[in-house]
Structure 1
């Protein structure tokens, strides 16, 4: 296998998706490259483009990390190994672009043993290939084999693990005993269930890998916002305050208070119900405040008790649905009184079923006008003599 000509490698790697084929340990080991001898004509950047499928820009960036590579022997062995494992040419290009040093990894000493170890804990070659494509740098260390048996039951499935790795690609390289286990134990002590930890890790994986001494501080900060441990919103509060200093939190609370004309009690209510508004940018908050208070005419207390309104898309949801409701009310088409929040909170499918479809005959252009508004334009039929406080 090692005697494949280099010109065959691009063809081998460009196959749509080599189906994972089971191969014994001795074949894995046979992919190891012989001792590397300098090749004066070898150009790393050209090799990355011509053989690995990287763009010229990617190759230029990657070649900096491969300055000591003087021969294609080991990279050829790695590429052959990855192709045999089932990675397509696109997968290989992605992996190499993420971690160019993968090409310098020993097949015999690291890649093959890791694949054998992962197969031993129940992963298929297809699953291993997906891991290589997503977190190639983890395959340069033996810790991937020792760490995965802990993470798979923690996250509940291989698909959940992949989702978490997309958010925190360093997870598999973090010490489980030093960081992850202590943090998971503390979160469970706080009343967060294993299922909630899994959901938390999909958006705030760093809570598992931070210094365990910092986690109690974050928990205390979340509780200080009026979100008790064990509540449904507690994991969102942890997410919201993880990277915020006490000074920044105080400043954001004051900004919210002034912007939405809230009392201190209103701020606490809003944060306890939807802690993630702490992470919204000032520009985002400003635009929603102007629209909800001035144009829709909502009371500050109403927004404080339904703070999810602040996190919905302004152009994609808040404005289009307001204009539809306003149109229906102005034309006497609403069959009963409905709150603005009830229209905003439902899914797109339900909104269309309740507020668009029933009026196709009475308002034949409503579907078109709604679609136009979702694109950021306000059609003439949605321009009223007074749009202020219409619901």
Structure 2
């Protein structure tokens, strides 16, 4: 056997690949290989490291509920031989209301948490979150989604971030809303990200209400790196947005998520449907989120409203919010109802799109279904998709 292996090393490289079947018989091991002997991996781990690695894998499987594959992958940086520290971490989570599935999720995302000091590193952050009003259920949800929060230094990162948010938003309820919408915010250095962004908005004349709207509704945008944030803000200003209005903030968050070429592509798509450049820009200024839909969604909606319903493109431009609405769940069912009402002369021909597409579900039913049910008993069935309207809106 040894002679075979030694002689094999003298073969040319192209002949060195082979298939050897390895069995363990009488103390001899035969390895199954599809590569040359020269490429067989050799462990650089010391025996004690291998033992710790093996223990970590077993612990992740048996105590944390990870699969074998996941445990092997996550254990690469977990070298421990005693269950004392990881057990104390798991116990801390259980004492604070986390179930096994939630703990397993946390460990999969952040396995190094098992090496943390529960009393010095984990508990103070949990207690701080409770102190600012985070409920037990929200605490579990937030930590399960973002266990990396435990990496943040409480004194140097988390508390300064909270204090700054409080200075901007003034009330704990809004700070808490911001935190729940974007726990990652506490991973950022507030003095390098949000602080200069807020200063820029104030410089441009944005009132506290507009700034508060940005921070509470789009915290990830508020924490964008300043260079990128400033670039987009100036782009929005050049489009003519008023920094005193909340739509100014909505435009910022849309453009932060969209490259200039992508925006131009979507504007061009609208132009192909009959919008002029000024009309497309006006629609964006009315409702910036009309640019957030995919081009496929935009095309389907325009095709339905223009070609199947017969609505002039310029009417859609004055109600761009309809682009964002669900075509299947909202636009088509409501148009089907209005088609019947128009055909029977029960509503005016010049009915604006926003009149029946923008109201809430309850309001729409009151105004366009229940109100006319005696005249058209089948309206509710049409609205629920059980019948076809068979009509066409004309304006």
Q: Specify the TM-score bucket, using the shorter chain as the normaliser.
A: 0.7 to 0.9
1:96 matched to 2:107: yes
Partner of 1:215: 229
Shift of 1:51: 2.9
- 3-state SS of the aligned residue for 1:187? helix
Partner of 1:78: 89
Query: Is the Cα–Cα contact under 8 Å of residues 85 and 117 in structure 2 kept in the other structure?
Result: yes
Query: Is the Cα–Cα contact under 8 Å of residues 236 and 276 in structure 1 kept in the other structure?
Result: yes
Can you give the 5+ residue segments of structure 1 that lack an aligned partner in the other structure? 1-36, 374-378
Relative to structure 1, the CA distance from residue 72 to residue 263 in structure 2 (aligned partners, 3 Å threshold; closer, same or farther) is same
Can you give the 5+ residue segments of structure 2 that lack an aligned partner in the other structure? 1-48
Query: Is the Cα–Cα contact under 8 Å of residues 160 and 190 in structure 2 kept in the other structure?
Result: no
Partner of 1:330: 343
Determine which structure has more spread, i.e. the larger CA radius of gyration.
2
Partner of 2:252: 238
Number of corresponding residues: 343
Shift of 1:81: 1.6
- 3-state SS of the aligned residue for 2:227? coil
- 3-state SS of the aligned residue for 1:228? coil
Query: Is the Cα–Cα contact under 8 Å of residues 178 and 216 in structure 2 kept in the other structure?
Result: yes
1:137 matched to 2:148: yes
1:227 matched to 2:241: yes
Q: Quick check: 348-357 or 182-191, which moved more?
A: 182-191
Mapped partners of 2:159, 2:102: distance in 1: 21
Query: Is the Cα–Cα contact under 8 Å of residues 42 and 72 in structure 1 kept in the other structure?
Result: no
Relative to structure 1, the CA distance from residue 128 to residue 240 in structure 2 (aligned partners, 3 Å threshold; closer, same or farther) is closer
Relative contact order higher in (CA < 8 Å, ≥ 6 apart): 1
Mapped partners of 2:354, 2:129: distance in 1: 49
- 3-state SS of the aligned residue for 2:98? coil
Per-residue CA distance 1:7-50 (angstroms, 9 max, x = gap): xxxxxxxxxxxxxxxxxxxxxxxxxxxxxx99769654554454
Partner of 1:52: 64
Query: Is the Cα–Cα contact under 8 Å of residues 85 and 125 in structure 1 kept in the other structure?
Result: no
TM-score by length of 2: 0.75
1:176 matched to 2:183: no
1:187 matched to 2:201: yes
Query: Is the Cα–Cα contact under 8 Å of residues 65 and 100 in structure 1 kept in the other structure?
Result: no
Tell me the C-alpha RMSD between the 2 structures: 3.2
Relative to structure 1, the CA distance from residue 356 to residue 53 in structure 2 (aligned partners, 3 Å threshold; closer, same or farther) is farther
TM-score by length of 1: 0.75
Mapped partners of 2:214, 2:307: distance in 1: 35
Query: Is the Cα–Cα contact under 8 Å of residues 226 and 271 in structure 1 kept in the other structure?
Result: no
Relative to structure 1, the CA distance from residue 125 to residue 252 in structure 2 (aligned partners, 3 Å threshold; closer, same or farther) is closer
Partner of 1:383: 390
Query: Is the Cα–Cα contact under 8 Å of residues 149 and 186 in structure 2 kept in the other structure?
Result: yes
1:298 matched to 2:311: yes
